[in-house]
Amino acid sequence: MIDYFFTIGTSGTGLYKEKGSKFLAFAFPVNSIEQVNNRLDELRKKYHDARHHCYAYILGEDGLQMRANDDGEPNHSAGDPILGQLKSANLTNTLVVVVRYFGGTKLGVSGLITAYKTAAEEALNSSKKIKQLIYVPIHLSYGYGSTNEVMKLIDRYHLKIIHQEFLDRCTLQASIIISKNEAILKDLQLLKDTGYDIHLVK
């Protein structure tokens, strides 16, 4: 099971010029459609005099949510080349927008593909690529007498503690790397079978 994905940790920019046209590229880390739309709105306001704001994004830990937009350029001449750069870099949760200022000379479809691809590549190369682990939540309820066993589980599985309460009935809200989830569930069942008061809260 894959327990990580690649994204960018910082924004990046790129620039490509051809026959008077300027292609300004911007790469952003994003986690939702709302963030995508916010970034697009910002660039459309800032570069309101540009002819095209073409973009592509990939979202989700599995990288299955994606879109490419030509924004008035010939079909598949802008959005798809940008998307291709995201795919070749194996990135998700990433948006690239290329703003075009028309220089008066048409570049043709092949020229546009080269321009948008190169500008997007530059923006991504100037960003910092990072690896992110995929975590899933785990919530435990346990008797105070079982605290030591729970602490051992925290150490063994490197749980990231979100919230913990020590009362007569203790609770632990944490997250665990997805590939270790099955193993900890087996350990919890084993502890329960051997008499420890530890319960998984669903």
Strand order in the sheet with 198-200: 160-165, 169-177, 135-143, 198-200
- DSSP for 66-91, please give it: EEEE-TTSSTTSSHHHHHHHHHHTT-
Query: How would residue 2 be classed by pLDDT, with cut points 50, 70 and 90?
Result: confident
Residue 125 clears pLDDT 90, i.e. is over it: yes
Fold of 4-132: Ribosomal Protein S5; domain 2 (3.30.230)
pLDDT of residue 104: 83
Where in the chain do CATH 3.30.230.30 domains reside? 4-132
pLDDT value for 44: 96
Looking at residue 1, its pLDDT comes to 67
Strands 169-177 and 135-143: antiparallel
Average predicted confidence (pLDDT) for the chain: 95
* Cα–chain center distance at 37: 15
Model confidence, pTM: 0.83
pLDDT level of residue 154 (50, 70, 90 thresholds): very high
- For the chain, residues classed under CATH 3.30.70.240 are 134-200
In the predicted model, is pLDDT for residue 123 greater than 90?
A: yes
Is residue 167 predicted with pLDDT exceeding 90? Answer: no
CA distance 33 to 202: 28
**Cβ partners under 8 Å of residue 168, min gap 6:** 143, 144
Percent of the chain beyond pLDDT 90?
89
Span 168-189, mean pLDDT? 94
Domain spanning 134-200: CATH 3.40.50.970: no
Per-residue pLDDT tens digits for 30-87: 999 999 999 999 999 999 999 999 999 999 998 999 999 999 999 999 999 999 999 9
- Predicted confidence at residue 105, as pLDDT, reads 83
Structure tokens at 94: 């990433």
pLDDT for the residue 126: 96
More confident: 12 or 168: 12
Q: For the segment 79-110, what is each residue's pLDDT rounded down to a tens digit?
A: 999 999 999 999 999 999 999 999 888 889 99
